[in-house]
Amino acid sequence: MFRPEEIFDELLKRMGKDRADEVLLGNTEREKAVIHKKLCGRGFSQLFLEVPLAGRAGFDLHIVQDAENIRKQTPYDRDLYDGYGELFSWYAGEPSCGDGLDVVYDFRESLAVPPMAYLKLSDDTPDFTGFFREAGDAESASRYAQKVKRLPDGWVPWYTGIHTGRPGKPLRIGCALHCRAKSRYTKDMRLLDHDLQRLGFPAPLSSVTCGRLGELFAFPYPVDVQLDVMEDGSLGSMLGISLCTGNIGARRMAASLNGGSMREVMELLKRWDIADNRWEKLAASLFQVSAVLCSGDGDRRRFVLSGNIGFIKARFKEGASAHDAKAYINLKAMSESYED
């Protein structure tokens, strides 16, 4: 039987071409030891490595379980994912509550920081009260409902999450922008500033920020807007803007990094001084292969292994020009067959 940590180690090894893992992730020995304890359950969860594009090398970890996988693995131990076992058990019994759960570990801050819990929303999710209650902050349900009612036209919430271990207990809401909303803002970024002010963003966007956001929105990628709602109902000072790269395949993404639109994105972030040269290793970290793996118990199985970029995020603090940027490297392993 394959253990999830064995598959993770194989994926991490395949990221290592041309020292890409070292440059992007730093020394991973401490994190690997922790991750081996976090990869619970049967099968392999989808992972995102949240990698900063400047500053100290390292990563945060997203462990993403889709709805089908969660329901196959009930019941859950109480301490699964650092206290979120009851959240997973509750979710397994709610057939119409979202598309899955994501638990996020802030490795770069401190291993002592409690993880964040995300719910991937779906069109037929009727009530989020249970998610917030089981995740440890029932009062966030009203904060969520109040902000969502005020979202501008064309903003579609597709995930939400809470971080009870951070000051202000921020509630995070991620919204995908419909094409019409993105097009409207691209023509006049002051319209985005107006909508953010109406939502309660604590500072107006500077003219420099509006110009830079216009450059980001001009790229041919769907846009995600990320907001934090604090415990008192106010919006946090950080605005997150993600370019969603979709499932175009590792080879096409690598080509885009080497000489296409994604290279232009990276060069733009570097001009803004929120990315350094490490982005040049991103293409080397990507892969998609079919391979037969052998477990520590001697089992053989063929997997499709992949590493790709899911999102590129730039953050703007208090309306200023730019704060930082991150790449989200998506690691997957899908079992194809057993080998004789």
> 35: Cβ–Cβ under 8 A, 6 or more apart, which residues?
5, 8, 61
- Give the angle subtended at the CA of 47 by the CAs of 157 and 138, to the nearest 5°: 45
Comparing 27-41, 51-65, 156-170, the range with the smallest average pLDDT is 27-41
Q: Looking up tokens 């509006």, which residue turns up?
A: 210
Please give the pLDDT value at position 77: 67
Q: Which domain holds residue 236?
A: 4-338
Please give the pLDDT value at position 340: 46
Phi and psi at residue 28, in whole multiples of 5°? -100, 5
How many helices (H) does the chain have, and how many strands (E)?
Answer: 13, 11
- 35 touches 75 (CB < 8 A): no
Average pLDDT over residues 224-251: 93
Average pLDDT, rounded, for the chain: 90
- 247 touches 271 (CB < 8 A): no
Kindly state the tokens that stand for 167.
Answer: 């000051």
Q: How is 156-220 classified by DSSP, letter by letter? A: EEEEEEE-TTSTT-PEEEEEEEPHHHHHHHHH-THHHHHHHHHHT-SSPPPHHHHHHHHHHHTSS
Is residue 212 predicted with pLDDT exceeding 60? Answer: yes
* pLDDT tier at 89, thresholds 50, 70, 90: confident
Residues of the chain above pLDDT 70, percent: 94
Higher per-residue pLDDT: 54 or 100: 54
| Structural domain count of the chain | 1
First to last CA, the chain: 14
Distance from C-alpha of 266 to C-alpha of 275, rounded to nearest angstrom: 7
Please give the pLDDT value at position 339: 55
